[in-house]
Amino acid sequence: MTRKNKRNFNEKATRGEPPNYLGQHLMHNKKLINEIVNQAKISNHELVIDIGAGKGALTSILSEKAQKVLAVEYDSKFVDILERKFIQSTNTKVIHKDILKMNFPKSHFIIVANIPYAITTPIMKKLLSYPISSFQRAVIVMEKGAAKRFTSSTVKDPYVIAWRMWFDIRYVKGISRKNFSPPPLVDSAMITIDRKAKPIVPYSNYLSFFGLVDVMLKNPQLPTDFALRSVFTAPQIKQLRRNLQIKNGLDVASLTEQQWGIIHETMMKHVPKYRWPRAKKTKLSGW
């Protein structure tokens, strides 16, 4: 987005108005579209949601594979195209709605989508910040910079490391802007998301983990020893250092998923509950 578009988006969000999703970049490379769907490994009993369905390029292929497809689109002119295109379809439903205000199904579902750049992070938060949901996995095309940030070994955003307690997020490949019409200013990338067979942090403890990672990552460049002081006593930190096998000066942003799991488990066992930093549910979508 241009700076002007970013400003308009932020202003509308502040006023509680629907963000502007128009100017969507539609994929026109049929080989790429089929590659995305194949990557999803869809079974004929699954429910699939296509976010930002546009003119239905992905939706058409998905409808041939899945038991049911929800094509979610905000732009009225694309909704009209979708409704005409799938009027005879028995397994495809067009939903004219703001995805950020839509309630996801209670039954298991997957996402296969080319999502709008302007709301990439809000969509990811909606999908991943509540691990008790029915969301199972995804293949998503998004802005390349965002894809790199979500899959980097160095994590500066609290919500990203929190997601990794419950989901595996993998960078698959970069996608040239030439595959879209109109072409965006930057390249895209394909990522996959899979629910971990065994979560690092129990789903029931997601709020306590969000609180922990939020307070410790306030300054991502801070040495881990200093970041731990916000929660743990000196003797606890000494024991944690041994358990984590960390070197002096390791910044908190470089901790691995497994190390974060150890830190959270230690807090649960050895820190009085009244001292746990807790994140409010209302904050999760606003990070």
Angle formed at CA 211 by CA 249 and CA 103, multiple of 5 degrees: 130
Determine if the peptide bond prior to 182 is cis (ω within 30°). yes
User: What is the structure's pLDDT at 22?
Assistant: 47
Three-state DSSP class for 24?
Answer: coil
- Helical segments of 113-256, H only: 120-128, 144-151, 158-163, 206-216, 224-228, 234-244
**First CA to last CA distance, the chain:** 20
Taking the chain (287 residues) in runs of 10, the rounded mean pLDDT of each run is 44 40 75 97 97 96 98 96 97 97 97 94 95 97 97 96 98 96 93 98 95 95 94 95 88 96 97 88 59
pLDDT in the model for residue 85: 97
User: From the CA atom positions of the chain, what is the Rg in Å?
Assistant: 21
Beta bridge partners of 140: 113, 191
CA distance 253 to 179: 34
Quickly count: other Cβ atoms within 10 Å of residue 285's Cβ.
13
Cβ atoms of 213 and 277 within 8 Å: the answer is no
- CA–CA distance, 171 with 175 (Å, rounded to integer): 11
Nearest to 129 by CA among 104, 112, 154: 104
Model pLDDT, residue 25? 85
- Residue 221 to residue 230: CA distance in whole angstroms: 15
Contact between 134 and 104 under an 8 Å Cβ cutoff? The reply is yes
Beta bridge partners of 68: 47
Distance (Å, whole) CA 153 – CA 137: 21
Question: What CA–CA distance (Å, rounded) separates 166 from 162?
Answer: 8
Tokens 């199904």 found at: 105
Distances (CA, A) of 88 to 45, 170, 192: 20, 36, 31
Domains present along the chain, CATH in parentheses:
3-195 (3.40.50.150), 203-284 (no CATH)
Q: What are the two backbone dihedrals, phi and then psi, of residue 140, each rounded to the nearest 5 degrees?
A: -130, 135
Query: Are the C-beta atoms of residues 61 and 35 closer than 8 Å to each other?
Result: no
